[in-house]
Amino acid sequence: MGEVARIFCAVYCGMIVNPDAIVAQMESAITFGLSAALYGAITLKNSRVEQFNFDISPMMRINVMPEVWVAIIQSGERPSAIGETVVPPIAPKVANALFAVNGARLRSLTLTLKNILEELKVK
């Protein structure tokens, strides 16, 4: 299936007070979002979710983590919170990149080779 090699993240959060903290927050949010998109399957057993807490969810390791570039857009606006704003768009962005490469429009997580092949109707 390939891999996510690079992620470019631009962030606009008002006046920059601590750029290192902003970059660290974006990098960790990207790691969390990619982990959920690529590894975070939610499975049911006897009508109950098996993954009952985050401590059993796999996280990306450094050896598979893509190169991350964070650009902070300069602004004269008041400082604002940054939070984990990049978590929600990561899965759709990766899904769109997969669509651009192979034409498989994935509409459910996790983004796995099995799901791609099912979407392409290849068995």
pLDDT digits 0-9 by tens, 3-59:
778 999 999 988 998 999 999 999 999 999 998 888 887 888 999 988 878 777 788
The answer to whether 85 and 32 have CB atoms below 8 angstroms apart is no
At the topology level, CATH places domain 6-119 in Aldehyde Oxidoreductase; domain 4 (3.30.365)
Measured between its terminal Cα atoms, the distance across the chain in Å is 15
The structure's pTM equals 0.80
Which residues on neighbouring strands pair with residue 7, listed in sequence order? 68
Q: What percent of the chain shows pLDDT beyond 70?
A: 96
Q: How many CA atoms lie within 13 A of 41 on its CB side?
A: 8
